[in-house]
Amino acid sequence: MNTKRKMFYGILIALVLIILIPILKIKWTMYSLEKNLHDYLIHTQKYKEEEILSIKCVLSDLPKYPVYVRFKDKPNYHHVYFFRGNSWTQL
């Protein structure tokens, strides 16, 4: 009986990991892209922190991870950026 219980818990842990690892990888990728774009806008494009209202990455078909940015001067307009290769491109 003890062996069956260990096997059950082993399979259960494996299934949980199979489900959680891809989800956590996607969440980490989205967080990294948001942070990277924020740094790009502040340091390279010379935006001020106050000018940026929000930065939000989503999972999509194409591009896979578009990042939507709202600026203070146009709060109802979403600027769409995506990371290609080693640089940011605005759509």
Distance CA 1, CA 14 (A): 20
Q: Is the pTM of this model over 0.95?
A: no
Integer angstrom CA distances of residue 40 from 6, 17, 20, 44, 83: 49, 34, 30, 5, 11
pLDDT tens digits, 29-70: 999 999 999 999 999 999 999 999 999 999 998 889 999 999
Taking alpha carbons only, the member of 88, 83, 76 closest to residue 44 is: 88
